[in-house]
Structure 1
């Protein structure tokens, strides 16, 4: 993400992430505005004020942080701690996750790292729900995950008790792929009874966290962890949840990010199903049977992304499906199209992609890309789907 060497830009992500008042939303805005965090580091204080959300006090704090911080030293110290982590400057950082408004600036990992890139080329589904599921919730979680695993769908969840645990364990038992997003460091087991499952996921799947090693559980970590679960998934499924449930936070975030939301209907007599029924009332799609998701995944647009290398693809799993998904191939641009418009058009495919993805991919100011997209819309070459959504596709 920028013209600087990868290690340098990586250092700036770590350094900016330590600045007081710089959360994930502002960090992404800072990167989008300047094109790279290295450029932002050198910017005048007055230029920082042009970024939405940065006022006089914060701009002054940012300038002070830059004066007393050496990004290379910060990165070296961080790497010396022994933890493995990615920043958005690293090629293995999931581009699908960076699409959300507040992607984690540092993503710690343990396990099969190829799964992080696999979410770009293979469908991924978040399975979430109550920590105290009924026999009905347990049974249907296992049935749905079994179908997903047999069709090479990556199952994402939070390694909590209940539905999360059943989702991860069934995915592994079905020889499928799974990613667990933790509210602790990847070296810390919580809840304790999931420690054996966590060790198994570290070997057969992938553990992710925005928290460094040795981070214990904290009640504030888990709601924020849910945004990463939603961000890594093309669809989120709530199989059983009461009206007050962290799973509903994940569903709301998925909806905010423009991802699909599904809910398993349950009995009106069961408090554990009322959250799912309320999601359906608000417009979530209903799980009718264990093949609902498999049928719909073929209709959910796949993001345009570089394919996995042959070695990584083979390492993941041999395709079980007789009908593998094929990414759409853009048609050629008109010969008389100006070069700046042709560059933007070349990045748009027949499957909807977001404005943030285009800004990240083309490394150009948001305003320039919006202007180009408007011209392309007027020319009838691209369209927003749905209108006003800032998700663009070829006509």
Structure 2
């Protein structure tokens, strides 16, 4: 019998079947193996699949052998979880579109995957002020002392500062990439990624060797939000990608906090906007 994980990979190769639709397919049929064997007519019973999509799926399945595809894929990507794995992060299973494949590199802590250790996301601008840097360190140190793991996206600015502050405080940090786990972007963060590899974990929904693509980063943000019980936005302009993470976290029913800043600082505008919209305000390390 073919491993259920192979079907998560195989389904993810079919055009038009993204993570959200794939989760609906899984829930409708109970297993992706059963869905793979379903007729086009049976597939149309899934919300979001019409006649054309069902025909596309039926045609593309003919060219794929899930077992062979999985065996080949594992040669280059041995460290990967699917929702069929017991070690797949539980909080990710609560979101509408969990990644079908979650690649990892570094030191796995299964208590984090099981939700027994709290994960907190810290995100923000790539161009922080000294105020933003200082408060990132203060907040991260307090969170590490309280036993939380810090999650961010290994981008320039607040992301990198949050990861480094966590490592400096002796805590665990998780970096979620928009590239393969063996490709670091920006390259200036390679040394930081090596530290995280030794003292934390690097995650991605993209296979090894995948390079940077601007379309990957908003998708990456949903994973950051989905892994965490709370998201903290330190500094962010009105169009910052950090606000995408905050909005997604709010949609997932997770807590969102923001650091207030000066009206004279454009990088505080986004934080002030989401505070006005209902995000909880950070007043000190204990709030």
Q: Do they fold alike, i.e. is TM over 0.5?
A: yes
- What is the aligned partner in structure 2 of residue 188 from structure 1? 183
Q: Counterpart of 2:97 in 1: which secondary structure?
A: coil
| Counterparts of 1:143 and 1:30, CA distance in 2 | 44
Q: Any conservation in 2 of the 1:187–1:214 contact (CA below 8 Å)?
A: yes
- What is the aligned partner in structure 1 of residue 137 from structure 2? 142
- What is the aligned partner in structure 2 of residue 40 from structure 1? 35
| Counterparts of 1:49 and 1:269, CA distance in 2 | 54
| Counterparts of 1:291 and 1:118, CA distance in 2 | 25
Q: Any conservation in 1 of the 2:87–2:114 contact (CA below 8 Å)?
A: no
| Counterparts of 1:92 and 1:113, CA distance in 2 | 10
Q: Does 1:209 align with 2:201?
A: no
Q: Does 1:238 align with 2:240?
A: no
Of 223, 227, 231, the residue aligned with 1:228 is 223
Of 170, 174, 177, the residue aligned with 1:175 is 170
How has the CA–CA distance of structure 1 residues 77 and 118 changed in structure 2, closer, same or farther, with 3 Å as cutoff? closer
| Counterparts of 1:83 and 1:140, CA distance in 2 | 38
How has the CA–CA distance of structure 1 residues 32 and 113 changed in structure 2, closer, same or farther, with 3 Å as cutoff? same
Q: Does 1:104 align with 2:116?
A: no
Q: Counterpart of 1:120 in 2: which secondary structure?
A: coil
Report the Cα offset of residue 288 of structure 1: 1.0
| Counterparts of 2:147 and 2:212, CA distance in 1 | 32
| Counterparts of 1:82 and 1:161, CA distance in 2 | 27
Q: Does 1:55 align with 2:25?
A: no
Q: Any conservation in 1 of the 2:87–2:110 contact (CA below 8 Å)?
A: no
| Counterparts of 1:212 and 1:42, CA distance in 2 | 26
Q: Counterpart of 1:126 in 2: which secondary structure?
A: strand
Where in structure 2 are the equivalents of 1:242-253 lying within 5 Å? 242-253=237-248
- What is the aligned partner in structure 2 of residue 270 from structure 1? 265
Q: Which structure 1 segments of 5+ residues have no match?
A: 293-395
Scaled by the length of structure 2, the TM-score of the pair is 0.97
How has the CA–CA distance of structure 1 residues 222 and 232 changed in structure 2, closer, same or farther, with 3 Å as cutoff? same
Q: Which structure 2 segments of 5+ residues have no match?
A: none
Q: Any conservation in 1 of the 2:258–2:271 contact (CA below 8 Å)?
A: yes
Report the Cα offset of residue 118 of structure 1: 4.1
Q: Any conservation in 2 of the 1:155–1:167 contact (CA below 8 Å)?
A: yes
How has the CA–CA distance of structure 1 residues 119 and 160 changed in structure 2, closer, same or farther, with 3 Å as cutoff? farther
Report the Cα offset of residue 125 of structure 1: 0.6
State the Cα deviation string for residues 39-72 of structure 1 (Å, max 9, x = none). 1111122111011110101101111122222110
State the Cα deviation string for residues 78-120 of structure 1 (Å, max 9, x = none). 1122442111111111111121111110111001122574461
Q: Counterpart of 1:121 in 2: which secondary structure?
A: coil
| Counterparts of 2:112 and 2:37, CA distance in 1 | 31
- What is the aligned partner in structure 2 of residue 64 from structure 1? 59
Q: Any conservation in 2 of the 1:115–1:205 contact (CA below 8 Å)?
A: no
Aligned residues: 287
- What is the aligned partner in structure 2 of residue 8 from structure 1? 3
How has the CA–CA distance of structure 1 residues 28 and 118 changed in structure 2, closer, same or farther, with 3 Å as cutoff? closer
Of 111, 133, 158, the residue aligned with 2:128 is 133
Q: Does 1:290 align with 2:257?
A: no
* Larger gyration radius, structure 1 or structure 2: 1
| Counterparts of 1:175 and 1:117, CA distance in 2 | 16
